[in-house]
Amino acid sequence: MKPVRQCRLVTPTRDKAGFLLLEVLLAVFILAMSGFVLLEGLGRCVAGARSVQTYAVSDILLANKSYEFRAERPTDILDQQGTFDDYPGYSWTRRFEGTDIEGLWQQTITVYWYERGKEVSESVVEYRYLPDKTR
């Protein structure tokens, strides 16, 4: 019997020692893009947390000012403004306006601060009955 010859296709073989330059460049590009995306997300999270913190501080300051103005004083009908010694960067104003009902006054307390270069404010409106006060 005659031996059967087998025909094999010869495929070019890669050197098993390393990666192609294209593979390395693609891996570096994917790594860089994912790094940029992660940094952008982290920056947005930090900005959101800072915003939540400033609004929480402003709520506390509004509540404190509202409580402070609950006791009637001779200057209650006067518009006032000031700053908070313990919280630099925050300021407040208080406005009194008369209403249609005799002795009922609308008091608006506003806290101001700067966030990302813009002035931001939060207000609370309360009604106070001060029958002996006139403007």
Which among 67, 64, 72, 129 has a CA at the least distance from the CA of 99? Answer: 129
Instruction: Please say if the pLDDT value at position 105 is more than 80.
Output: yes
Is residue 83 domain-resident? Answer: yes
With H, G, I as helix, E, B as strand and everything else as coil, classify residue 87: coil
Q: How many folded domains does the chain comprise?
A: 1
Is residue 135 domain-resident? Answer: no
Q: Tens digits of per-residue pLDDT, 39-65? A: 999 999 999 998 899 999 999 999 999
Say if residues 116 and 79 touch (Cβ distance below 8 Å): no
Strand partners, 97: 106
CATH of the domain at 124: 3.30.1300.30
Which among 88, 103, 83, 97 has a CA at the least distance from the CA of 126? Answer: 97
Q: What is the mean pLDDT of residues 1-26?
A: 73
Instruction: Please say if the pLDDT value at position 15 is more than 60.
Output: no
Domain of residue 76, residue span: 21-129
Is residue 4 domain-resident? Answer: no
Task: Name the pTM for this structure.
Answer: 0.66
Is residue 105 domain-resident? Answer: yes
Is residue 110 domain-resident? Answer: yes
Edge to edge, what strands does the sheet with 91-98 contain?
A: 80-83, 91-98, 104-115, 118-129
